[in-house]
Chain A
Amino acid sequence: MASHQFDNVDRSGSVSGPPSEGDYALDRGFRGIAWFSAALILALVVYIVIEIGGKAMPAIAEHGLGFLTSTSWNVQTGQFGILPQIWGTLYSSLLALLLGGVFGIAIAIFLTQDFLPNRLAAVFRTIIELLAAIPSVVFGLWGIYVLIPLLRPVANWLHANFGGVPFFGTSLSGPGLAPAALVLAIMILPTVASISVDALRQIPYKVKEAAYGMGTTRWEAILKVMLPTASSGILAALVLGFGRALGETMALAMLIGNSNQISLSLFAPANTLAALLASSFPEAGPVEIRALMYAALALLAITLIVNAVGLAVMKFATRKFEAER
C-alpha cells in the first residue's frame, strides 16, 4: 500500500489524496476483528458441543446407551437413566405442539386473511408479541397459583368419570403434565403464530386473486389454496415451536412435578430433561454431575436436530417463491 500510482499526477488545488497509512491500518485491523468475531461464534458453538460432550464422556463410558433406556435416577446406588425424562420431554412438547400449533395457525389465519381491519390486527399482533415477552418463571408462578387450581376440579372430574381412559388415569394432585403442557403451549404459540404469519404473508397477492377469481369463498381460498401454498412455512413454524418446547425449562421445572415416571395420564406428575437439569444440577455431587452432563448432551442433540430440520424446511419454503419470481 505504500506507493501510490497517482503520486506523479499534478494535484495542485485539489484536496483529493489517498487514504493515509493510518486509514489503511485501521481498515485492515477492523476487518480482521470483524472476521475474528464471526469466527468466534463458530468457535463458541464448537466449544459448547465439545465441552458438554467432553464432560459427558465419563458418564457415557460408564452407563453406555443403557442410560437412554433406563428408568432409575438414584444417586445412592449410582444408577442413572433418562428414559422417563425423554418420555416427559417428548410427551409434554407434543401436547404443547398440538394445542399451540392449532391455536398458533388459527391466529396466523386470523391475522392475515382479512378478518380484522389493519389497526385491530396490529393491536392483536401486539398482544401475541407481549405473550412472548413474559418470562418463563412468571408463567410458572401463574401456573402454580392460577392454572392448577383452575384445572384441578376439571381434571379430577374427568378422572372420576372417565378414569378408564389412559389419558385420565390419575387425578391431578398439584403439579402434573397437563398444566405444564398448557403453559408450554401458551409459550410456543407466539413462535408458531409469527412464523406462520410470515409464511402466509409471503404468498403473492396474485395467488389470492386467482383463488377468488375461481369463485372460492374466503374459507375455500384459505383451506384449499393459502394453507397448502404456505404449508412448508407453517411446517417450519411447527418444528421450531416444537424445538422451543423441548428446551423450555423454568416453567416446566415449576409445574411438571419432577417425578421420574412414565405415564400416559395427563394428570400424572412427570419430568423433562431440562427440568431435571434445573432441579438436580445446583445440589448435585460429582457423580451425579457427570450423569447430568450426559442428559444435557442428549437434550442438546435432540434440540439441535429438531432446530436444524426446522430451519431446513423454512429455507425450502422461502425458495419456493423465489423460483417463481
Chain B
Amino acid sequence: MNANPERMTAGTAPARNGIVMDCQLEKVFYGDFLAVRDSKVPIEKNKITGFIGPSGCGKSTVLRSLNRMNDLIPIFRFQGKVSYHGQDIYDKKVDPVVVRRYIGMVFQQPNPFAMSIYDNVAFGLRLNGFKGNLDERVEKALHGAAIWNEVKDKLKNSGLSLSGGQQQRLCIARAIATEPDVLLMDEPCSALDPIATRRVEELMVELKEKYTIALVTHNMQQAIRVADTTAFFGVDISQGSRTGYLVEMGPTKKIFEEPEQQLTRQYVRGEFS
C-alpha cells in the first residue's frame, strides 16, 4: 500500500501516493432534495485532502459519505461508488459498522463520551476486542493527539471536564487509538479558539505521516496551511434548488494560485463565500 513510484505520472502533483479511497459520487439525495451531484474525489495515502467551498456546497455531505455516517439519516440516498481498497463501501454486502472501524472520524463539535478521559480513548480498543496492553495504547494515542502532558495526571477525570480545544484533541486521540486507515475530519477547528486551532493543525500535519486525512474546512487559510490537495465545491442553483458539486480538485498551491475555473478563482480571492 505504499507509494508506487513506477506508476507516478510526470507533471502532476509531486510524490503521487496510492489512492486509498476513491469517491465517485453521482448523486446524493435527502428525500427528494438533490444535495450533491457529480463529484469525483480521490483521497491519496498519507496526505491531507482539504474540502473547501461556500456553505451549502455539500462538502460535509461528501465527507460523511466516505464512512457512511449519513446512513444515520433515514432519508439519505447515495448514488455512485466509493472505492476503498478496491471495494465499494456502498455495496449491499458491506456493513457500514465495519467501514467506520477502518475510517475514523473527528466531528465539528468536540463530542467526548460522558466517561473518563482514559475510557474515552480506550473505547475503540475495547470495542474492537483489543487484548494487548491497554494503558500503553491509550498513552500512545494521547501522545499522538498532543494532549498527553495536559491530561496524564487526571486520566480518571471526565472527558467533559476538559476545555473545548482539549476535548477536540481527546476526540482525535479516541479516533486514532485504534490506528484506523483513514481519518475524516469535519471542520474540526470550527468550535476552537485560534491557539487550540493552531495546535490541532500542527497535529494534523504530524498525523499524516501515519494516516490518510480528509479535512472539511470553512477556513481557506487552514486549507493553505495544512492541505496537500484541495477540492473546491460549488453550489449550483440553476435547477431552482441548491445542489453542491465538485468544481475543481488539485494540489493546494495550484488551486489557490492558478486555478483553472473562474469560479474557483473568485472564491479563493474572497469574492464570495
Contact = CB atoms under 8 A, between A and B. Distances in A.
A231 to B, nearest CB: 9
Contacts of B100: 212-215
A324 B160 contact: yes
A213 B107 contact: yes
B180 to A, nearest CB: 8
**Secondary structure of the A contact surface, majority rule:** helix
A240 B184 CA distance: 43
In the complex, the 9 A-B pairs of residues with the closest C-beta atoms, listed nearest first? A215-B101, A215-B100, A206-B111, A213-B105, A210-B111, A229-B114, A217-B97, A206-B109, A214-B124
B182 to A, nearest CB: 12
A42 interface: no
Nearest to B159: A324
Nearest to B123: A214
A213 B69 contact: yes
Q: Most chain-B Cβ atoms within 10 A of its Cβ — which of A204, A215, A225, A323?
A: A215
A225 B159 CA distance: 13
Interface of B: 67, 69, 72, 74, 97-102, 104-105, 107, 109, 111-115, 123-124, 127-128, 160, 171, 174-175, 178
A207 interface: yes
Interface string A167-207: 00000000000000000000000000000000000001011
A212 B69 contact: yes
Contacts of A210: 107, 111-113, 171, 174
A209 B124 contact: no
A217 B71 CA distance: 12
Contacts of A216: 97, 127
B104 A214 contact: yes
B112 A220 contact: no
A215 B97 contact: yes
Contact of B113 (A212, A229, A323): A229
Nearest to A214: B124
Q: Most chain-A Cβ atoms within 10 A of its Cβ — which of B104, B105, B114?
A: B114
A213 B66 CA distance: 11
A225 B113 contact: yes
B127 A220 contact: yes
Given A204-B111, A228-B113, A229-B113, 18 more contacts: A207-B113, A212-B100, A213-B104, A213-B105, A213-B107, A214-B100, A214-B104, A214-B175, A215-B97, A215-B98, A215-B99, A215-B100, A215-B127, A215-B128, A216-B127, A320-B114, A320-B160, A323-B160
B111 A207 contact: yes
Q: Most chain-A Cβ atoms within 10 A of its Cβ — which of B72, B107, B127, B178?
A: B127
B176 to A, nearest CB: 11
Contacts, number: 65
30 contacts: A114-B74, A206-B111, A207-B111, A209-B111, A210-B107, A210-B112, A210-B113, A210-B171, A210-B174, A211-B113, A212-B69, A213-B100, A213-B175, A214-B100, A214-B104, A214-B175, A214-B178, A215-B97, A215-B99, A215-B100, A215-B128, A217-B97, A224-B127, A228-B115, A229-B113, A229-B114, A320-B114, A320-B160, A323-B160, A324-B160
Contacts of B99: 215
Contacts of B112: 210
A215 B124 CA distance: 8
A152 interface: no
A114 B123 CA distance: 23
A215 B69 CA distance: 10
A208 interface: yes
Contacts of A215: 97-102, 104, 124, 127-128
A206 B107 contact: yes
A228 B174 contact: no
A214 B72 contact: no
B112 to A, nearest CB: 7
B113 A208 contact: no
B69 A209 contact: yes
B114 A214 contact: no
B160 A209 contact: no
Contacts of A204: 111
B114 A209 contact: no
A206 B171 CA distance: 12
B123 A224 contact: yes
A225 B114 CA distance: 8
Contacts of A217: 97
Q: Most chain-B Cβ atoms within 10 A of its Cβ — which of A210, A212, A213, A324?
A: A213
B140 to A, nearest CB: 17
A216 B104 CA distance: 11
A324 B110 CA distance: 10
Nearest to B114: A229
A229 B115 CA distance: 8
Contacts of A208: 72
A228 B97 contact: no
A216 B97 CA distance: 6
A223 to B, nearest CB: 11
Nearest to A207: B111
A208 B101 CA distance: 15
A229 B98 CA distance: 24
Contacts of B67: 213
Nearest to B119: A228
B107 to A, nearest CB: 6
B204 to A, nearest CB: 17
A171 B72 CA distance: 52
